Amino acid sequence: MKPQRILTVFFLVSSLVLSSPAQEASFSKRGNLEFGAGINLFGPASQMADLMREYGFHESTFDWVHMEQTQYPVYAPLGLSFQVAYSKYISPRSQLGAQLNYSWLRKVQGLSATAGDLDIFFSSIYLTPYFTYEPWRVLELQVGPSLMVNTGRKTSLYDENVEETKASYTKLSGGLFAGLNVILWDDLDYYGKIGIQYILAIPNNMGPYSSTYGFDQTETIPESKIGFSHLNLVFIFGFNL
């Protein structure tokens, strides 16, 4: 076959691939607006529970409602996550976007025999610019840096007039976001998918947290490094723009 014919065949095949329905369907979407909600695992709650055991907030009580012993510290096994994101296609299989996420990372409840209750609530708000690549039409891989605002706040009894007893700490942190999404359906105007997202966060110093009960009996958890890394399992509903 002559070189001219080889080039002609090559350009014909290339044009057919680039103008295939799958390619056109993907790239005709200029952008996406997404809303997501789900649950999260891991996070700072388990780490704070370990600190409570170490510093004396590990008593037990009898639950007369359920007729069983409750061993402190206790916390819910799952947290909640909410997110909104916008992305724009830069090629048929890749996008650039930004996501704003709020994660309720659970409350930990401890109990000391001398100092009473100590309840601490954790949350994180983070903004993530991310890159998305679609190796297959039903699968998305995402990665990007995150700017995080992490909070660890005491919610048990405190004195409004004494700042130290409120024990609320809000710190900035950096993180690395990675996600994997499976597309469930994709219509002309909207779509749905489920995803797994992991945030690897730089730990923050949080504390001290203290509790006082009775005749000024005080127990304190000193300032400690707390990691806000966590895993989100989310359902995402999006609009093709």
Average pLDDT of the residues in 160-186: 85
- pLDDT of 134 > 90? The answer is yes
pLDDT bucket at 156, cuts 50 / 70 / 90: confident
pLDDT of residue 217: 77
Mean pLDDT in residue range 124-144: 96
Beta bridge partners of 140: 181
Rg (CA), the chain: 25
State the pTM of this model: 0.82
Q: Which domains does the chain have, with CATH numbers?
A: 22-240 (2.40.160.20)
Q: Which of 34-43, 106-115, 181-190 comes out lowest in average pLDDT?
A: 106-115
* Cis, bond preceding 203 (omega within 30 deg of 0): no
Report whether 59 contacts 66 (CB < 8 A). no
Q: Summarize pLDDT for 56-101 with one digit per residue, the tens.
A: 999 998 777 777 888 999 998 899 999 999 999 999 899 999 999 9
The overall average pLDDT reported for the chain is: 86
**Cis peptide upstream of residue 21 (ω within 30 degrees of 0):** no
pLDDT of residue 38: 97
pLDDT digits 0-9 by tens, 7-41: 444 444 344 333 444 444 445 568 999 999 999 99
- Going by their DSSP bridges, the two strands 139-154 and 94-112 should be labelled as unpaired
